[in-house]
């Protein structure tokens, strides 16, 4: 599961990281609405950046975190911010987006709770993470959800679910409809992540400032 995350890589740095990730000179990368500001406690229903292929371009665009299927009539109900990989091909809330609405969600790290204590998870090398996602445009609003799988070692102690983080080689296949990527993230990728206790202040979504993670990324 992932219900809070961090993205402080912004502006030209995020656009450049996206272009380097896709690494396709025939497909220009654009952020038509600009890059987002740095965020340190992103929660469901917040606006997040997503990466998707549209026509011959790679777009970095703002989307509501919480999928709004095309048949959604209003914003009632719990936000669909996570989608279980095991059921997205059949579940009505996700199956159309799985077929036609793939995206990738950039993040610098995420928070997870274990025994009521928050932890911050991030790449040990200071790099970025790219999570598999789905997008839709119900209620005339671009929205997205993050795909999760069973957790794997060495993070299985933290939570039984884990975002489906993609390797660089998996990103383009995911965005173009590959159906063989619904397994947990590769072991070498998960093993490259480090976990540290997080500031309990992250429990309040109104707390969104660099000091929440300053000890972990300094």
- For the question of residue 103 being annotated catalytic, the response is no
Distance between CA 191 and CA 61 in Å, rounded?
A: 30
Which residue among 61, 103, 112, 170 is the active-site one? Answer: 112
Which residue among 2, 61, 103, 170 is the active-site one? Answer: 2
Nearest to 82 by CA among 56, 61, 55, 110: 110
Task: List residues with catalytic annotation.
Answer: 2, 112
């Amino acid at each position: 599961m992932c219900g809070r995350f961090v993205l402080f890589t912004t502006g030209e740095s995020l656009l450049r990281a996206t272009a380097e990730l896709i690494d396709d000179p025939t497909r220009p990368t654009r952020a038509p609405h600009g890059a987002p500001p740095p965020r340190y406690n992103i929660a469901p229903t917040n606006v997040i950046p997503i990466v998707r292929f549209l026509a011959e371009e790679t777009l970095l665009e703002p989307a509501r975190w919480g999928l709004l299927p095309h048949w959604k009539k209003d914003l009632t109900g719990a936000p669909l911010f996570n989608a279980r990989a095991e059921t997205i091909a059949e579940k009505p809330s996700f199956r159309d987006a799985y077929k036609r609405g793939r995206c990738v969600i950039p993040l610098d790290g995420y928070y997870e709770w274990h025994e009521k204590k928050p932890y911050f998870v991030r790449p040990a090398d200071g790099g970025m993470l790219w999570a598999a996602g789905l997008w839709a445009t119900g209620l005339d609003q671009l929205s997205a959800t993050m795909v999760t799988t069973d957790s794997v070692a060495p993070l299985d102690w933290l939570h039984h679910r884990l975002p489906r983080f993609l390797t660089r080689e998996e990103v383009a296949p995911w965005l173009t409809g590959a159906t063989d990527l619904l397994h947990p993230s590769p072991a070498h990728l998960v093993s490259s992540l480090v976990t540290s206790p997080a500031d309990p202040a992250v429990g309040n979504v109104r707390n969104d400032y660099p000091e929440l993670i300053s000890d972990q990324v300094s």
